[in-house]
Amino acid sequence: MKALTWQGKRKVSVETVPDPVLQADNDAIIEVTSTAVCGSDLHLYEVLGPFMDPGDIIGHEPMGRVVEAGTGSNLKEGDRVVVPFTISCGSCWMCAKGLYSQCEITQVREYGSGARLFGYSRLYGSVPGAQAQYLRVPHADFGPIKVGDELPDHRYLFLSDVLPTAWQAVQYADVGEGDTLAVFGLGPIGQMAARIGRHLGARVFGIDPVPERRDMAARHGIEVFDYGEDTNDAIRDTTAGRGPDAVVDAVGMEAHGSPVGKLAHQAVGLLPDAIGRKMMEHAGVDRLAALHSSIDLVRRGGTLSLSGVYGGEASPMPLLTLFDKQIQLRMGQANVKKWIDDLLPLVEDAADPLGVDDLITHRLPLDQAPEAYEKFQKKQDGCIKVVLDPTES
Ligand SMILES: NC(=O)c1ccc[n+]([C@@H]2O[C@H](COP(=O)([O-])OP(=O)(O)OC[C@H]3O[C@@H](n4cnc5c(N)ncnc54)[C@H](O)[C@@H]3O)[C@@H](O)[C@H]2O)c1
Ligand SMILES: [Zn+2]
Ligand SMILES: [Zn+2]
């Protein structure tokens, strides 16, 4: 089959690789019909290189049709499914609490990481990813979400990651009717977090330096702001000087705005792998501009919800400010299946309350993935969300 593989820093290529086969009786193989590129893939492309091996298949936002189902899976050939990016057993102690991204059966203990993820480096189990024609789905007795045949792929596809991640971010932010919410970063995760905030009745501010991302959010009732020195004051001014009740940080470590961080990022990419890994783990190479702005903006006693992924253990956090402002901080990898019952009716609703019809900017054959990665990273050509179609070449 053809698959998108990681080959080195900022280098991915489509290669012919062996088809996946069933390895356990609760596995299934799906033929992938749509598979999205995520902001998280950019971390692999850039800073997580030391944890990747050339030839690793990337991708974790797929849907498709079952072509082979193990006897212990709850699927059959022909089923149409969306596959969550986290691989969970569904029945261990953590899964029983709905903390599926902490599954104790699939945790990657070697690296001290949570549940395995598709296509997400040694840190998350080196599981072959989903930007490919076929995908082996472990724990197919629990993970895959069966969907109907009537609606097009893009209505369901974002149940794999973007929607549950955004939903969890807003649940953790704990906002509802009449509350105020600011969302830093209007990539796909921030777009959906902002729209979900609106859907739940909050007044929502969205901050992003990229004009077309602000335009997209504005189409969905979000009050948008460029990222700049006066932004937080402008937002405070409209919230009686206090700041919003909650802030979602949907930027993560590819943030703009911190030149020091950028240098460190580049340095990690240039180091030999073993040293780069250590630096990534301990030196705090993160670009924390958006996170610091989020801490500054949230009102005293408010909640900060992080969905952007930050790595590096020595990240300098303004603990004094967090303490003094009595900020509640919640974060984590999405517990995808926990939120599907809330989300499925919304994506199937003909009125499209979350606007899933307005998120994809590029749908391309898998062959064009390398160009798509570059476009997405550089934010060229109005690129906000790319979906690859492995059935087309
Ligand atoms: N928690 C989870 O389970 C989970 C799941 C998926 C993605 N993520 C993470 O969420 C983050 C966002 O993902 P995405 O797909 O939307 O990525 P993305 O890269 O498309 O979006 C990031 C956005 O942040 C904006 N930005 C950069 N610096 C900024 C700043 N200083 N202030 C405001 N905005 C700024 C960029 O312009 C961009 O629009 C990534 O870190 C990703 O790894 C987390
Ligand atoms: Zn993703
Ligand atoms: Zn489990």
| Per-10-residue mean pLDDT, the chain, length 393 | 95 97 98 96 85 96 98 98 98 98 97 96 97 98 98 98 98 97 97 98 97 98 96 98 98 57 48 55 57 95 91 70 92 97 98 98 98 94 98 85
Report the separation in Å between the CA atom of 138 and the middle of ligand 3, taken as the mean of its atom positions: 12
- Structure tokens, 377: 């990273």
What's the structural domain count of the chain?
Answer: 2
Same domain, residue pair 383 and 244: no
Answer whether 161 contacts ligand 1 (Cβ < 6 A).
yes
Rounded-to-integer distance, Cα 52 and Cα 227, Å:
32
Residue 286 has a pLDDT of: 43
Could you list the residue range(s) of the whole structural domain that residue 83 is in? 2-146+360-389
Say if ligand 1 is within 6 A of residue 194 CB: no
Angle between helices 273-282 and 259-270 (to 10 degrees): 150
Q: Which atom of ligand 1 is nearest to the CA of 191?
A: 16
* In-domain check, residue 187: yes
Residue 256 beta carbon below 6 angstroms from any ligand 1 atom: yes
Same domain, yes or no: 200 and 316: yes
39, HSE (Cβ side, Cα atoms, 13 Å): 22
Supply the CATH number for residue 279's domain.
3.40.50.720
Cβ–ligand 1 distance for 216 under 6 Å, the answer no
Note the pLDDT of residue 287.
Answer: 65
Note the ligand closest to the C-alpha atom of 97: 3
Pair 372, 250 in one domain: no
Of 231, 307, 359, 386, the one to substitute when testing ligand 1's pocket (max ligand atoms within 8 A of C-beta) is 307
Q: Give 17 Cα–ligand 3 centroid separation in angstroms.
A: 30
Residue 14 and residue 350: Cα distance in Å, rounded? 36
In a domain, 337, yes or no: no
- Alpha-carbon span 268 to 271, nearest angstrom: 5
Q: Which strand (E) or helix (H) includes residue 156?
A: helix 153-157
Whether residues 308 and 182 share a domain: the answer is yes
Residue 254 has a pLDDT of 60
Q: Which pLDDT score is estimated for 312?
A: 62
Domain-located, residue 151: no
pTM for this prediction: 0.93
29 and 94 co-located in one domain: yes
- Select from 331, 346, 379 the last residue of a domain: 331
Residue nearest to atom 14 of ligand 1 (CA): 39
- Asked if 42 and 188 sit in the same domain, the reply is no
Q: Are residues 314 and 202 in the same domain?
A: yes
